Structure 1
Amino acid sequence: MDVVNKIKAPLISLFFLCTLIPLIPSISYDYHNHQRIIQIAFLLCISFLALNAFLSNKEPTFKLALNKKNIILFSVFIFLGCLSALMSAEKSFSQLYTLHISLLILTMCCVSTTNDKKSILFIIYALLVAHTSLILICLLNIIFTLAEQQPLNPYIIYSGFINIRFFNQVQVFILPFLVLLLKFKGIQRIVFIILFLNLLLIFIGQARGALLSFFIFSVFALILKTTLKKQILTGLVSLALSCIAFYILDSLNKGGADILRTSSSGRIDLWLNTLSNLSWKHFLIGSGPGVFEMSLGSSAPFSHPHNSLIEVLNEWGGVALICILIVIFNTFRKSIIHLKNHKKDIITESIFYSFAIGITYSLFSGVHVMPVSQTLLFIMWGLLVGRLYKNKYIHIPINIYARLFLACVFVLAWFLYLQKAVGIYNNIDPDNGYIYGPRFWSIGQRA
């Protein structure tokens, strides 16, 4: 078990390096699929480590850093996903997506046993280093854009991302850790510059949801009377300065960008149309995980509703939504109680804010859908749970039959997951341009 725990932190760090640093050559048609392939490999490795830890455990019980209530709720959630997939119009793809979410939940549980300070800081620093390298490349793109007297175009500045929101979805998880690092005087100026560049890039990408999420996080942290009050106020100053810098740079070569535009980019219409099309079936079982599709006018179809609550309700059903909301509420409640009782635990505090800002942004964007941000959400959740339930493990009885059964389940799940993922991947034909396809891969046909 100790060996497994030592492997997890480097494995998570390797995932960040391979998915975020654009200097690593793409191993697929585009950067999204490149990240998805690495995500699949990462989830399979983590699940293998989890199985190995379970089978090699010499004790008659197995430790898990979750309470019994949350374990039951997660189990019901996954069961309802499987049931919804079986009743879906696209059974094969829906089963793939259910398996995918199950592996993410398993990853969260596996990561939750990594609760020592050294391993957590190793993961956080690896994330910051990988993402900062990406930010610096974007800074070079800004300089080149200004030198060529061109407007600030996020599709050029955001290196390697076919959808600029994928970039913003990762950024929101980074911001709380940068605020945390402002506490260390030796690197304050460097961290402030990196925070400023992150916020400037959010303005350039016109990611209003990300800006709103950062502002909500800041206000929420101040209400909790956090020990990071000074750093959060500095972060808000950086926000104001980045806004001013954006308008100055944009005025040099006007590109027509307006961060304060009042349109909803189709979000509100998408939400209202999705809710209006709900039936009693959706409140019970849903239409099947991963199969959402809706067009607004002549635009390309949306493959997810850009709202995690509406998505779960539509695809997994109302009962599953209630289950996952209770688990999230329990995590938030436990976190707030912990922070009030451990005011100097800034590591847990920053992880909590990273998880909370990710959840907030999922109400406006596809944080819970895209490869890197989706994995980050569950990794932060696991790290947070590990800190909250440190040394408070649930002991699950195991015997030889339980080990054998679980090994068979894992092998079968791995086979089905890879078989379905490769099958859908083979439907990709980039020569035909955009083809409406699954949100799992960037393009292709689900069936």
Structure 2
Amino acid sequence: MSTFNSDDVVFSARYFLYYLGLFFLCCALYNTVTNQVSQMYRFFAVISILLFLSVGMAFWLRIYFELEVNIHTIFSFSNPRFLNQIQVWLVIPLLYMSILNIKRNKNIIILNFALMLSVAVIIATDARGISIALFSVVILWSLIDGAWRREILTLSFKVAILGYIIKLIILSPVPGFIFGDGILDFGTIRTDSPGRLQLWKDSLSLIDFLGGGGGYFVCTSEYNDSPKFGHPHNSMLQALIEWGALAAISYCLLLASLFYKVITTNRRIVRVSGLSLLAGFAYSFVSGVLVMPLSQLLAVLSIAIFWHRLKGKSPSQKGKYTNSFSSLLLIAASLIVFSLIDMGGERIEMYQSGFLQNEQIENERVRIDFWLGHNCS
């Protein structure tokens, strides 16, 4: 309904097809993750280490050449929050695998090292939102899992302390003290709200019962220079503004169902995969976790893992689909592919035209939503 309520139906339909494509991807991953969850969780450790290196390389090089260092000097990420939005899906599974290996007397060095590096990056990038989300989920986990409570709290505390020490020694302030100005600056804890409250207040004026359609928020932001960001930094507000009240209510009910399942299930792997989702969705209430593509991919993977652990492997559906249903799936998949090709082609053409050097960029009127620039038709 929101798509047809949009000022530009074709433009909003392409957003709808994008999210439909993510749903299809989640369905495709559902049976793919059958016997590979443990391997995927171990691979999360590799991702965490690489994320740390993407931060560390920038810090070390800039310090060595005596350049300014702050949370925005992040190698390979234009915004440190994009990095944190990936991390939020990784920490809880890594904590689970580490405790499980302790129980089984297996090696935990790499898993614990990845956890400590994750903490170091979160502190170095001054990421309060993800810190609160992960802290809350760890406390919730310890409250509902009495058998593992001691291990959860003990390991979390150790990882947090050692991660902070790694941050001090390897990232800041010790490297700056040795190679830079010789000043030990331990930084301060921010207590302000970086425009969130005003952003949410401005966003309320965009609410429509039917929704404005996909891309409505970012287009309004670019055309009117208000609100000041490309998305409301709140997934519930995003659903309400773009997809309407019914979609927002459905979203809240799904989250409530997820929370209920996490606290009532007797299966630990279901609980852990659900807690990982809760961490991601909790962070999405103050950040664009469900907007940025890399984070979206990990969100889809995490949902597929939880879905599979909750329901188990589905029986073979071979021969059970009618020709009409198969044709409908083929048409939808084709529309998704052609829509993505069209959207990608627009961006390539726009970037080649020198769009990034134009006046709109200089006036900071271009918002980020999936990609930079040319968000609106």
Report the TM-score when normalising by structure 1: 0.70
> Shift of residue 337 of structure 1?
2.8
* Equivalent residues of 1:151, 1:250 under 8 A apart: no
The corresponding residue for 1:239 is: 160
Report the TM-score when normalising by structure 2: 0.82
Letter aligned with residue 90 of structure 1: D
The reply on whether 1:261 has 2:190 as its aligned counterpart is yes
Identity of aligned residues (%): 24
The reply on whether 1:177 has 2:117 as its aligned counterpart is no
The corresponding residue for 1:368 is: 290
d(CA) in 2 for partners of 1:126, 1:292? 35
2:337 to 414, 433, 436: 414
Q: Which digits, 9 at most, give the CA deviation of each residue in 1:74-99, with x for residues without a partner?
A: xxxxxxxxx21222123333221111
**Secondary structure at the counterpart of residue 39 of structure 2:** helix
The corresponding residue for 1:194 is: 114
2:37 to 101, 120, 130: 120
Distance 1:445 1:144, change over 3 A: closer
d(CA) in 1 for partners of 2:139, 2:325? 47
2:255 to 328, 341, 351: 328
Letter aligned with residue 386 of structure 1: H
* Equivalent residues of 2:51, 2:83 under 8 A apart: no
The corresponding residue for 1:15 is: none
> Shift of residue 415 of structure 1?
2.2
2:305 to 363, 376, 383: 383
1:287 to 176, 193, 212: 212
Letter aligned with residue 24 of structure 2: L
d(CA) in 1 for partners of 2:237, 2:90? 25
Q: Return 5+ residue gaps in structure 1 as ranges.
A: 1-82
Equivalent residues in 2 for 1:60-75, closer than 5 Å: none
The corresponding residue for 2:371 is: 441
The corresponding residue for 2:199 is: 270
Distance 1:388 1:401, change over 3 A: same
Equivalent residues in 2 for 1:8-407, closer than 5 Å: 83-116=1-34, 118-147=35-64, 152-156=69-73, 158-183=74-99, 184-185=101-102, 186-225=106-145, 227-229=147-149, 230-243=151-164, 246=167, 249-250=172-173, 252=177, 258=187, 260-275=189-204, 277-278=205-206, 282=208, 284-293=209-218, 294=221, 301-338=228-265, 341-342=266-267, 345=268, 347-391=269-313, 398-407=321-330
**Secondary structure at the counterpart of residue 302 of structure 1:** coil
d(CA) in 2 for partners of 1:166, 1:255? 28
**Secondary structure at the counterpart of residue 3 of structure 2:** helix
> Shift of residue 189 of structure 1?
3.7
The corresponding residue for 1:37 is: none
The reply on whether 1:430 has 2:356 as its aligned counterpart is yes
**Secondary structure at the counterpart of residue 220 of structure 1:** helix
